[in-house]
Amino acid sequence: MIRRALPLLAALTFLGLPACSSGSSTATPGPAASTDAGSAGDGATAPPAGPSVTFEMQTTIAASAEDERCKFVTTTEDLWIHQEQVRYTPGSHHFILWNTTYTSIPTTDINGNTVDTSGVFECPGGPPAAWTVDRYVGGSQAANAPNVLGSLPDDVALHITAGSVLMMDLHVLNASANALPVTVTIDLQGIPASQARREAGIYFFYNPFIAIPPNASSHAEMSCPVTSAVTLTTQQTHMHKWGLGGVANLEDSSGKVLKQLYTSDTWSDPAVTAWTTPPMTLQAGQQIEYECNYQNDGDTTIIQGLSAQTNEMCVLVGAYYPRDTKFETCGTTGNFADQGSAATFIGTGTATCFDTLDCLQGAMTSESFFSCMVNSCPSVATPLTQVLDCQENAPQGSDVNTVCKTQIGNCIAATCSP
């Protein structure tokens, strides 16, 4: 009911507005890794160069328009990526490189629509809305932003297999009165496969429960479990224009804060925290709690959604190793389709668990639905999330009240702590 019904997989993607334009793209062999592109884990010298590649995408965005464009590209070699560098035209809102499950470039999306994918094409709602993507392998939310992988140790790299079909995803806000030519380039700089002993990944946490009342402040909060010992190399948040920044904490299994991992005070070009020495190592059984803060000075409630102009987001993203798909998806299975299924969503209000369930049952709009969750009190987050998980995973056609009897009972018994 919750995670599959909401666009959890569309984090960092936005609803593109129609615009008349054309585009092209190229994929060319990239430069070898060098000290200019990033340092080795100990900060001494760059590791030996391995197979590398550069992908480039060019397009034009109409005047006074918001648009999202995509391009499929493929790899010809097995890549162990140690550094990434993204460059794009100022005015672009974000760029993401997605890995897909396709074995060749598709021409029909998951909705059955035939699409000309021979070059750059419009992709409103982002790749997850119409194509099968399974992980985030690179990107940036600011022109010339720091490398998302950070400084990886010499034997750690992100793996992209030969023959992979990747999807370039560029979102642009052109506020000018003139058409905007846009170029985005991503350099994937590799090390030899023989040197790569540990695989890196990019974790991707997304909280859909956002409801900011008119002329008020608000925040969204959630936690994700650490499912194995991992080392973080980078971390940052992503929000829209109502965002005031965010905080991420490392907690023990009881919710006690062990240390602050991240803080920012702006939605635009937020800081990227990078760890080298000492490394930021997390242990299984701990959890990452993060929150996004907002201020709404308008006269309508702002809820989560894909549009950078009318909705908000709350994302925590960064690189880590060794790769653990359950950790990076905040999921119970490790599959990207189940992203967020292991999360605990934490409200900021005073409503009990039972009152929140009653509120959700009567919610007829997205605004009321998200508001119900946000208005729940923090101390009932675990039993409330467990009820929602049970309801979502109950066999189709079953009596949810019977299947989830234990979880509902725990929810009824839960109280809001002072």
Q: For 209-223, how does the pLDDT look when each residue is reduced to its tens digit (9 = 90+)?
A: 999 999 999 999 999
Per-residue pLDDT of 96-142, as tens digits, reads 999 999 999 999 999 999 999 999 999 988 898 899 999 999 998 87
The whole-number pLDDT of residue 48 equals 64
Residue 164's pLDDT band (cuts 50, 70, 90): very high
Q: Is the pLDDT of residue 248 over 90?
A: yes
Q: What is the mean pLDDT of residues 323-335?
A: 96
Topology annotation, domain 8-196: Jelly Rolls (2.60.120)
Higher pLDDT, 314 or 93: 314
State yes or no: pLDDT of 90 exceeds 80.
no
Mean pLDDT of the chain: 86
Q: What is the pLDDT of residues 29-65, one digit of tens each?
A: 333 322 222 333 333 345 668 889 999 999 998 888 8
Task: Output 231 or 17, whichever has higher pLDDT.
Answer: 231
- Is 284 within 8 Å of 227 (Cβ atoms)? yes
Mean pLDDT within 169-193: 91
| pLDDT of 367 above 50 | yes
At residue 24, does pLDDT exceed 60?
A: no
pLDDT higher than 90, residue 310 = no
Q: Going by CATH, does the domain composed of 203-346 fall within 2.60.120.230? A: yes
> 323 or 39: whose pLDDT is higher?
323
pLDDT of residue 31: 31
Provide the residue ranges of all domains of the chain, joining segments of one domain with +. 8-196, 203-346, 353-413
The pTM (predicted TM-score) of the whole model is 0.85
- In which band, very low, low, confident or very high, does the pLDDT at 268 lie, cut at 50, 70 and 90? confident
Does 23 score more than 50 pLDDT? no
pLDDT for 33 equals: 29
pLDDT at 38: 30
Q: In the predicted model, is pLDDT for residue 258 greater than 80?
A: yes
Q: Do domains 8-196 and 203-346 have the same CATH topology?
A: yes
Is the model's pLDDT at 27 over the cut of 70?
no
